[in-house]
């Protein structure tokens, strides 16, 4: 298919300019002003919409194999396309856990058959994510994007150091869910004012930053590439900031919900429950400052669908996790860019450029590159309605929020994977 995208505002080389893009055989063949085409080319006039490099989410739960009543690779990848993502990285808390070549290939077979966009699986750090024995990291290495035990912190210092040393040898990233089990004390929301006022058990901030502090020391010893998942506390941000100044190979992500909500926004509803939890206003401000100064490298959704029943049990009893692939860009554009907290260019760096650089996924808009891109109308205003989602999950704290930014189209290798009617 040959396609000419005309009259668009294109993000290229960290700036936005008005250009046309000509696509042939799945690749970008020309970027310029007033491009012309032959009779065999489909012309799409984008009427001043914006073309961004495909978004990359390094933290997604696709639930298949093992939990397809929550989500499938097909529905999750469709949701990604709807949200402007061309690449998503699938976390390993599955059944079977991808802790061996045999197990990861079960997931890869489904990806090959059903994925609408590019799906990159994680391998687990430990067998069954149990923290007792290292997975077959050597065997998994060529099939996975990185290693993680997401959903659980690796509690043993020796086990984590062994994993980091092996990851260093394999030139792979360790992506850590940082959580000290001994400090959880049955908590399920932030240990803050809302928990105290309403009689809920709180999760203290140290349960997160305490393990980050340990891991930074292990990175010093191992020299591995280390990535911190879903950073939520001010102490975490400062620890990572200092580690970067030291020159350690550390990156981190935060989620849209931590940047937009705090524990003062909580309601007695499972759609406000996730792990780590919504934190304090001070934590939120530290995250925003971390984004501004480059301490926080990227934004990932931690898209974690559950069944309606699993999310209907209130704050205490509901499963942890919310969906986010279809709301991330409009929520962040509305709450950060339109409020002049960050620039649009910065948001694209956080959602595409930076995760791509760290995880080796290139969606940049350049000649001879695959046409992995997403088109947005930034003036389109609407109210987020979970019933319009393509994901099987419906639980989101953003339900009912008025936002700007509609995904008009997402392409992978020049093929349209989502198009707004």
- Which positions ≥6 away from 242 have C-beta within 8 Å? none
- Which positions ≥6 away from 30 have C-beta within 8 Å? 20, 21, 22, 367
Please give the full DSSP string across 115-133, using - where no structure is assigned.
-SSEEEEPBPSBGGG-SSS
Give me the residue label for tokens 């990359």.
56
- Name the CA dihedral angle for 355, 410, 333, 382, rounded to a multiple of 10 degrees: -150
Cα–Cα distance, 237 to 315 (Å, whole number): 26
Cα–Cα distance, 378 to 334 (Å, whole number): 9
Strand runs labelled E in 15-145: 15-24, 27-32, 41-45, 50-53, 55-60, 85-90, 118-121
Please give the full DSSP string across 381-420, using - where no structure is assigned.
EEE--GGG-SSS----TTTT-EEEEEEEEEEETTEEEEE-
Q: Of 152, 90, 157, 109, which is closest to residue 127 (Cα–Cα)?
A: 152
Cα–Cα distance, 298 to 58 (Å, whole number): 9
Tokens of 319: 């499963």
CB 110 within 8 A of CB 121: no
CB 149 within 8 A of CB 124: yes
Tokens of 162: 């062994």
Residues annotated as catalytic (active site), given as ranges? 302
Reduce the DSSP state of residue 87 to 3 states and report it. strand
- Evaluated on CA atoms 52, 378, 257, 65, the torsion sign reads negative
User: Within 13 A of 69's CA, how many CA atoms are on the CB side?
Assistant: 4
In the DSSP assignment, the letter for residue 282 is H
Give me the residue label for tokens 């032959």.
38
- Name the CA dihedral angle for 261, 267, 273, 274, rounded to a multiple of 10 degrees: 10
Q: Are strands 250-254 and 298-299 parallel, antiparallel or unpaired?
A: parallel
């Amino acid at each position: 298919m040959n396609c000419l995208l005309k009259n668009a505002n294109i993000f290229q080389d960290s700036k936005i300019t008005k250009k046309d893009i000509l696509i042939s055989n799945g690749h970008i063949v020309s970027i310029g002003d007033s491009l012309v085409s032959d009779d065999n080319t489909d012309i799409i006039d984008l009427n001043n919409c914006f073309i961004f490099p495909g978004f990359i989410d390094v933290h997604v739960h696709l639930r298949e194999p093992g939990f397809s009543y929550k989500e499938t690779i097909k529905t999750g990848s469709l949701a990604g396309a709807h949200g402007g993502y061309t690449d998503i990285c699938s976390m390993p808390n599955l059944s079977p856990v991808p802790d061996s070549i045999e197990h990861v290939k079960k997931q890869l077979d489904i990806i090959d058959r059903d994925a609408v966009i590019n799906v990159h699986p994680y391998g687990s750090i430990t067998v069954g994510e149990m923290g007792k024995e290292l997975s077959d990291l050597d065997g998994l290495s060529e099939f996975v994007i990185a290693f993680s035990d997401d959903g659980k912190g690796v509690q043993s210092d020796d086990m984590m150091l062994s994993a980091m040393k092996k990851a260093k040898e394999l030139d792979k990233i360790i992506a850590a869910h940082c959580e000290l089990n001994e400090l959880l004390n049955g908590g399920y929301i932030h240990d803050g004012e809302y928990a105290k006022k309403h009689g809920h058990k709180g999760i203290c901030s140290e349960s997160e930053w305490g393990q980050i502090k340990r891991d930074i020391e292990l990175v010093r010893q191992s020299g591995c590439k280390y990535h911190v998942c879903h950073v939520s506390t001010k102490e975490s941000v400062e620890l990572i900031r200092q580690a970067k100044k030291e020159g350690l190979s550390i990156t981190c992500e935060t989620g849209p919900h931590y940047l937009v909500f705090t524990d003062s926004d909580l309601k007695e509803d499972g759609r406000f429950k996730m792990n780590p939890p919504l934190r304090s206003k001070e934590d939120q401000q530290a995250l925003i400052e971390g984004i501004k100064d480059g301490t926080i490298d990227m934004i990932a959704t931690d898209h974690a669908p559950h069944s309606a029943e699993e999310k209907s049990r209130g704050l205490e009893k509901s499963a942890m996790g919310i969906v986010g692939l279809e709301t991330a860009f409009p929520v962040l554009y509305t709450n950060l860019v339109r409020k002049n907290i960050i620039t649009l260019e910065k948001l694209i760096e956080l959602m595409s450029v930076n995760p791509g650089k760290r995880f080796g996924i290139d969606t940049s808009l350049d000649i001879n590159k695959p046409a992995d891109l997403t088109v947005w109308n930034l003036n389109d205003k609407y109210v987020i309605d979970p019933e319009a989602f393509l994901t099987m999950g419906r639980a989101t704290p953003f339900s009912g929020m008025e936002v700007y930014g509609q995904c008009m189209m997402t392409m992978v290798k020049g093929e349209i994977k989502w198009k707004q009617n």
